[in-house]
């Protein structure tokens, strides 16, 4: 779990810095000389970065800046790819069942495994895992209205990972799309349906984690 945590921190940093470099490159293009700007207009991101990396740094300060940013983007992309492969390898070695679930990628699996590892002593059943991830239902019923609201507690990174999994399933999985249509026809809002789906996904994730129990740290000697 500690390996996953460290690698995820470094990967997130690489992704943030790559996004920042991309934004800087595109902002610089807006104010670049017209001839240079027009020659790069309309290119896809990969083609744009390749073209900027090939610019002659000696031509002007703008050419040099664009070239440096493009090389930085390439380096950070390579770092993120390498770290993703390493994270995937660790998960495959410990709990490959997680990556077999629809919508669960290496990043989401790493976050959920880390959350479970940090709280192994609290995970008694799937309900406790759902509470840990902030997807256990919270009552907000009044009178004849029976409703539950989103839970804003728990591990927010784990909650966000479940949210991304649900969005992926709503896009690619027919079962989840059919559930959304059925429950919205019954009067539920999309937010409420997503909350329900996050709870179901938490159940699947807990089963996958339980199928390969996390090692329990040794108790300190008395």
The pLDDT score that the predictor gives to residue 125 is 78
pLDDT band at 107 (very low <50, low <70, confident <90, very high): very high
pLDDT band at 211 (very low <50, low <70, confident <90, very high): confident
Query: Is 154 in contact with 134 (CB distance < 8 Å)?
Result: yes
- Span 99-123, average pLDDT: 85
- Token output for 134: 């902030």
The pLDDT score that the predictor gives to residue 156 is 87
Q: Which of 6-10, 13-17, 82-86, 142-146 is the least confident region?
A: 142-146
Rounded to 10 deg, the angle between the 174-185 and 156-172 helix axes is 100
Q: Which of 13-17, 75-79, 183-187 is the least confident region?
A: 183-187
The pLDDT score that the predictor gives to residue 15 is 96
The pLDDT score that the predictor gives to residue 47 is 95
Query: Is 85 in contact with 178 (CB distance < 8 Å)?
Result: no
The pLDDT score that the predictor gives to residue 16 is 96
Q: Cα separation of 58 and 209, whole Å?
A: 55
pLDDT band at 204 (very low <50, low <70, confident <90, very high): very high
> Measuring CA to CA, how many Å separate 6 from each of 2, 59, 134, 215, 217?
6, 41, 23, 18, 19
The H or E element that residue 148 is part of is: strand 148-149
The pLDDT score that the predictor gives to residue 222 is 42
Tens of pLDDT, residues 135-154: 877 655 555 555 555 556 67
Please name the residues in contact with 24: beta carbons below 8 A apart, sequence gap of 6 or more.
69
Tens of pLDDT, residues 156-173: 898 999 999 999 999 999
DSSP assigned state of 54: T
- Span 173-202, average pLDDT: 91
Average pLDDT of every residue of the chain: 86
Q: Cα separation of 122 and 204, whole Å?
A: 18
pLDDT band at 210 (very low <50, low <70, confident <90, very high): confident
């Amino acid at each position: 779990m500690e390996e996953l945590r460290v690698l995820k921190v470094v990967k997130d940093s690489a992704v943030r810095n790559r996004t920042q470099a991309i934004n800087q490159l595109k902002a610089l293009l807006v104010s670049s000389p017209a001839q240079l700007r027009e020659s790069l207009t309309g290119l896809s991101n990969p083609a744009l970065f390749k073209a900027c990396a090939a610019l002659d740094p000696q031509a002007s300060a703008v050419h040099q800046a664009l070239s440096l940013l493009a090389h930085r983007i390439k380096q950070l992309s390579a770092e993120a790819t390498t770290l993703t492969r390493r994270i995937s390898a660790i998960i495959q070695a410990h709990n490959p069942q997680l990556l077999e679930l629809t919508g669960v990628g290496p990043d989401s699996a790493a976050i959920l495994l880390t959350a479970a590892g940090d709280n192994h002593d609290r995970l008694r059943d799937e309900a406790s895992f759902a509470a840990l991830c902030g997807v256990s239902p919270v009552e907000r019923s009044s009178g004849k209205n029976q409703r539950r609201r989103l839970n804003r507690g728990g591990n927010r990174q784990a909650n966000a990972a479940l949210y991304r999994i649900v969005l992926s399933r709503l896009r690619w999985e027919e079962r989840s799309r059919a559930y959304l249509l059925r429950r919205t026809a019954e009067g539920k809002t999309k937010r409420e349906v997503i909350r329900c789906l996050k709870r179901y996904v938490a159940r699947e994730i807990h089963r996958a984690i339980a199928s390969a129990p996390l090692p329990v740290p040794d108790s300190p000697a008395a």
